[in-house]
Amino acid sequence: MRNEELVIVEMIKDFSVPRTKSLMCFCERLFRALPLFFALFLLQPLWADDNSVQDAGPVPTEAASSGPLPQDADFFPDEAPPPDTASPSETAPAAAVQGGNTIEKQRRDTLRFGTETEIANLIQTLKDEKVSYLDKDLIDIAQNTRNRNILAGIFSFFGDMGKTGLEDRAIRAVAERDQEANESVAAAIDYLGKVKAGGAVDCLEELINSGESRFLNAAIRALGRAGAGQGGTQQSDAKGSGDSGTDAGTDRADKTASFLLDYYNNGNPSDDNKREIVVALGETGSKAAVSFLAGLVTNSEERTVLRMAALDAIAKIDDPAGLDAVVEAVSSTDPNVRSSAVAALGPFSGEAADNAILEGFRDSYYRTRIGSAQAAGKRKLVSAIPYLQYRAANDDVPSVKDEAIRALGAINNDDTTSILASLFSERKNSDRVRVLAADMLLQNAADKYGKQVEIELEEARSKKQTALYNGFIRVLTTAKSDSLKDLARRYISGGSVIEKSLALDLILNNQFSDLADQVRPLLDEQKNGVSIARKAKNTLEKLGLDSTP
């Protein structure tokens, strides 16, 4: 019998042994092996690499918090956390920064070699951080790519930040739209509108005349903004002939308005297109459109949404010729038209406008009360102060209270400051009221009320009132007052992540250059995290100081 056969026979014999006997055999073998396992366990530390044991340690993460770290800024449901706190998309392990491989280099490498998903994620991070040091790199990429995700992302980033430099590329995307992805073209159109690219008027008009429904509304919106913008051949020609840039801008706005009116009347636009045209007319700021808009407002047979858009457009143009139509609309039986009409009174003056604003505070429809508050704030209407005070304290609609408080802040006299101080200091008031009142006080009288807001901030923290704490942090980020230097100094050295971020905002906004030595330790990404380190570097650079770690 061959060896292989003998092995098979022996295996069969083993399996034929009763289970009890097999189990006893297994236990006996295991017992005999225990001394060997024990010896290996005792000797293992002696085999470890001394250097690796000595160097090992926890990978640093964000700086430890010295107090309760608030979560999302949930005071207002639609608000995100403070933009400069760390987020999963931007936070990298500290070990990723080795051998001089800085964040800047990593990001430039991502732009050069990364996938479309990696580049899109980086663009979102740059948008969150509100930085511009990679703008030139992004412009170079945009000039040489047709990748829909990358190109659309760059246009969106530059548009949201109001950055110029991509106008020519965007115009090319519109002109060569059949060779570009729809997403890229739509983003290019939106960008041209957001930066008010006057040089794009011709290409946008050509796109509208083409009747391509996929881009029509976006092109109309962009044209209204671009028609009021700078640049383009009209302005250059006007300057060359001795006319002012302002005259050239007015001429372009009127020509754009004329084009839009002609398309409204003769281009067979849909109802949705018509509303976009009305909005665009307001964006141009052309007085040539007021008569047409007033006709829409006073036509009770016209669709409500179109009349509302026309009222908003008249307010943006701010021409007295539109006032009569607005005042008439205040008495409309349609509550939505009434509310829009009252809000549109803001830019206008005169007794008729004042009376209509005050009357709006009595309207049972909450949007009309909001409109009155907004108009009173724009007008700085002193006679509205008692109405605003009452609405801020008693209205049952939170958004009405918000607008009343903002209007009090806009009027900004001794009476309104006293009212706001009372709303802020009364701890029985809602967090929403107190935070918004604090915001107005910091905008108007930070030297006087900065310390008081700081005290209430610490009170909210000690009582773990997260929403109130987050709200006060948010409004302090833009405050300007020397009285806040101690707060900045304390938070920069021992605060939580969100408090360090606030301290950096205060240092930059108030030019506290003498705190630079306290900022520099935050440049260490391993100890403080990428987000805080990056913000500290930006702060020092914007102050014109050395940002070397």
Concatenating the DSSP letter of every residue in 31-44 gives HHHHHHHHHHHHHH
Q: Which domain holds residue 204?
A: 138-232+243-285
The model's confidence at residue 344, banded by pLDDT at 50, 70 and 90, is very high
Domain assignment present for 278:
yes
Kindly report the number of other CB atoms within 10 A of residue 125's CB atom.
19
Whether residues 346 and 320 share a domain: the answer is yes
Domain assignment present for 133:
no
Condensed to tens digits (0 to 9), the pLDDT of residues 204-216 reads 999 999 989 999 9
Domain assignment present for 28:
no
Q: What is the pLDDT of residue 485?
A: 94
The model's confidence at residue 108, banded by pLDDT at 50, 70 and 90, is very high
Whether residues 206 and 301 share a domain: the answer is no
CA distance 143 to 164: 14
Domain assignment present for 23:
no
The least confident of 56-60, 105-109, 393-397, 453-457 is 56-60
CA distance 290 to 311: 10
pLDDT at 129 over 50: yes
CA distance 308 to 397: 22
Secondary structure of residue 101 in the 3-state scheme = coil
- Selection from 450, 447, 361 nearest residue 401 by Cα: 361
Q: What is the pLDDT of residue 494?
A: 85
Instruction: Out of 394, 411, 428, pick the residue that ends a domain.
Output: 411
Instruction: Out of 285, 318, 349, pick the residue that ends a domain.
Output: 285
Burial 486-514 (b: 16+ CB within 10 A, else e): ebbbebbeebbbbbbbbbbbbbbbbebee
Condensed to tens digits (0 to 9), the pLDDT of residues 390-423 reads 999 999 999 999 999 999 999 999 999 999 999 9
Q: What is the pLDDT of residue 419?
A: 98
Condensed to tens digits (0 to 9), the pLDDT of residues 279-315 reads 999 999 999 999 999 999 999 999 999 999 999 999 9
Burial 3-19 (b: 16+ CB within 10 A, else e): eeeeeeeeeeeeeeeee
Whether residues 318 and 382 share a domain: the answer is yes
Q: What is the pLDDT of residue 131?
A: 82
Token output for 100:
């001089």
In contact, 504 and 484? CB cutoff 8 Å? no
Residues 356-379 have a mean pLDDT of 95
CATH value at residue 216? 1.25.10.10
Instruction: Out of 411, 427, 459, pick the residue that ends a domain.
Output: 411
pLDDT at 40 over 90: no
Domain total in the chain: 2
In contact, 228 and 200? CB cutoff 8 Å? no
The model's confidence at residue 495, banded by pLDDT at 50, 70 and 90, is confident
Whether residues 295 and 388 share a domain: the answer is yes
The model's confidence at residue 128, banded by pLDDT at 50, 70 and 90, is confident
> The whole model's pTM is what?
0.68
Domain assignment present for 453:
no
Residues 57-79 have a mean pLDDT of 36
pLDDT at 96 over 90: no
Whether residues 261 and 292 share a domain: the answer is no
pLDDT at 1 over 90: no
Q: What is the pLDDT of residue 545?
A: 87
CA distance 277 to 259: 10
Residues 437-447 have a mean pLDDT of 97
How would DSSP label each residue in 451-483? HHHHHHHHHHHHTT-HHHHHHHHHHHTT---GG
Distances (CA, A) of 299 to 165, 168, 295, 312, 337: 43, 42, 6, 16, 11
Condensed to tens digits (0 to 9), the pLDDT of residues 265-275 reads 999 999 999 99
Domain assignment present for 544:
no
Whether residues 259 and 398 share a domain: the answer is no
Whether residues 305 and 341 share a domain: the answer is yes
In contact, 454 and 422? CB cutoff 8 Å? no
pLDDT at 76 over 80: no
Whether residues 184 and 261 share a domain: the answer is yes
Domain assignment present for 523:
no
Whether residues 314 and 217 share a domain: the answer is no
The least confident of 68-82, 276-290, 372-386 is 68-82
Whether residues 269 and 165 share a domain: the answer is yes
Whether residues 167 and 290 share a domain: the answer is no
Place of tokens 């304390």: 490
Token output for 517:
């030595």
Place of tokens 């905008």: 443
Whether residues 374 and 290 share a domain: the answer is yes
Domain assignment present for 479:
no
pLDDT at 77 over 60: no
The model's confidence at residue 548, banded by pLDDT at 50, 70 and 90, is confident
